[in-house]
Amino acid sequence: MTDLELRGITHRYGTNVAVRNVDLAVRSGEFVTILGTSGSGKTTLLRMIGGYLFPSEGRVVVGGRDVTRLPPQQRNIGTVFQNYALFPHMSVFDNVAYGLRVRRMSRAAVRERVGETLATVGLTGFEKRLPHELSGGQQQRVALARAISIQPSILLMDEPLGALDARLRESIQLEIKRVQRTLKITTIYVTHDQNEAFAMSDRIVLMSHGDIVSVDTPEALFMSPPTPFAAEFVGHCAVPVRVVRWNGRAGQVLVPGHEVEVTAVGPTPEADKPCYLVIAPDKVRVTEAPGTTGGVAAQLRGRVVGRRFTGLNVVLTIDLGDGGRLTALDPERRFRDDDVVHVGWNGDDAKVLQP
């Protein structure tokens, strides 16, 4: 069942179009993340869903009801903001009870609901504390409790973990997912962090300059990014190339600065648009000398200009000259900065994409 539908939503701040003609349907119980760089329109889109901002054009439909012109309190939507927006002078209990009291719930029912909600987020026993007596992670959980206490039909979260350190972010990501799954609550989550989006979402809406670039599962977005922008955003390399020959779904391209033609797949490129060779870092084979390893010919010469140890792996940045850069993995930790290397890949793994 569709819980939330955006139909042709546009928002302009003066002449600046922040969100352009967005269509989106979100199923009941789904966790959808709006992902994009700073200024791509994520917050503007979320605020229109919540009723904090009205669209210049288009409709917002929640559970079959047109709520486009309704204020937030009439939409049955719970929102968690980045800065938590807790009432500083109110106890944890009162913060969570606030929305219930506004809805004129009886004292006994408020007590029961606040108790249940604090138990859900693991904060039983913290009722009397003030926000400044809590850690950042605990404050975030109070904000979550406050948003879900009203049993909203949709939960909106705008970069809720932005203020937390990396380790805490990961544990609270799991916590939010657990609560969301338990309550089966339709959730729209905003982040600029691709790892966070991958870890939490059923589907990811990727935005750029007010447009939706892609709506897909995390796996599909990572495996088949639709544009060079999407590819780079999820950590692939996008090297500018010139198409030499193309036959239907595959062809030969020339990487600037290299005389060798390499094979790539993809839809037939349009003549008047630039072409990029897109490849995932784990598909790039790196060797010391030209030759063939594992059936893959290492053809292009490059230099290691960056080496990042991530704990589980080593990520290399390899300069191919003339503006071409590849990212590759070096799980055996064989290479160092400034090493001259040769790179190759399986023809099917390299795609030609256009903006």
Q: Give CA torsion, residues 189, 190, 193, 195, to 10 deg.
A: 20
Q: Which of 15, 16, 247, 310 binds ligand ATP (CB under 6 A)?
A: 16
- Least distance (Å) between residue 174 CB and ligand ATP: 23
Rounded CA-CA distance 127/95 in Å is: 9
Single residue of 3, 30, 36, 131 touching ligand ATP by CB under 6 A: 36
Task: Classify 101 as helix, strand or coil.
Answer: helix
Of the candidate spans 36-44, 143-151, 237-245, 311-319, the one that interacts with ligand ATP by CB under 6 A turns out to be 36-44
The tokens 């080496």 sit on which residue? 307
Please return the burial class of 135, using the count of CB atoms within 10 Å of its CB with bins 0-12, 13-18 and 19+: exposed
Alpha-carbon gap, residue 174 to 199, rounded angstroms: 9
Would you say 211 or 261 has its CB closer to ligand ATP? Answer: 211
Binding positions for ligand ATP, 37-56, rule CB under 6 A: 38-44
Rounded CA-CA distance 102/194 in Å is 37
CB of 140 to ligand ATP, least distance (A): 18
Q: CB 84 → ligand ATP: shortest distance, Å?
A: 16
**Segment interacting with ligand ATP (CB under 6 A) among 34-42, 162-170, 228-236, 266-274:** 34-42
CA dihedral for 115, 119, 123, 125, sign (positive or negative): positive
Identify residues 89-148 at the interface with ligand ATP (CB under 6 A): none
SS3 197: helix
Residues 222 to 241 in contact with ligand ATP, rule: CB under 6 A: none
Q: State the minimum distance, in angstroms, from the CB of residue 58 to ligand ATP.
A: 15
Sites for ligand ATP among residues 246-285 (CB under 6 A): none
- List Cβ neighbours of 64 (8 Å cut-off, separation of 6 or more): none
H-helix or E-strand spanning residue 6 = strand 2-13
CB of 225 to ligand ATP, least distance (A): 19
Report residue 190 as tokens. Answer: 């905003």
Indicate the residue among 16 and 310 with the shorter CB distance to ligand ATP.
16
Nearest to residue 199, comparing CAs of 175, 181, 174? 174
Stretch that binds ligand ATP, among 13-21, 101-109, 126-134, 224-232 (CB under 6 A): 13-21
Tokens of 129: 């504390």
How many residues lie near ligand ATP (CB under 6 A)? 12
Cβ closest to ligand ATP, residue 18 vs residue 110 = 18
Which segment (33-41, 116-124, 251-259, 285-293) binds ligand ATP by CB under 6 A? 33-41
Between CA 340 and CA 352, with CA 346 as vertex, the angle to 5 degrees is 95
Q: Computed from CA positions of residues 105, 107, 108, 111, in that sequence, does the dihedral angle turn out positive or negative?
A: positive
Nearer to ligand ATP, 40 or 138 (CB): 40
> Which 159-198 residues touch ligand ATP, going by CB under 6 A?
192
Return phi, psi of residue 30, to 5°: -80, 150
CB of 345 to ligand ATP, least distance (A): 33
Query: Whose structure tokens read 């979550």?
Result: 144
Q: Which of residues 41 and 131 has its CB atom nearest to ligand ATP in the complex?
A: 41
Binder among 4, 9, 18, 161 for ligand ATP (CB under 6 A): 18
Contacting range for ligand ATP; rule: CB under 6 A; set: 32-40, 68-76, 223-231, 320-328: 32-40
CB of 196 to ligand ATP, least distance (A): 13
| Encoded tokens for 320 | 């191919």
**Residues 251, 264: contact at Cβ < 8 Å?**
yes
Q: Which of 188, 139, 198, 136 is nearest to 167 (CA)?
A: 136
Cβ closer to ligand ATP: 196 or 330? 196
Q: Which residues bind ligand ATP (CB under 6 A)?
A: 13, 16, 18, 36, 38-44, 192
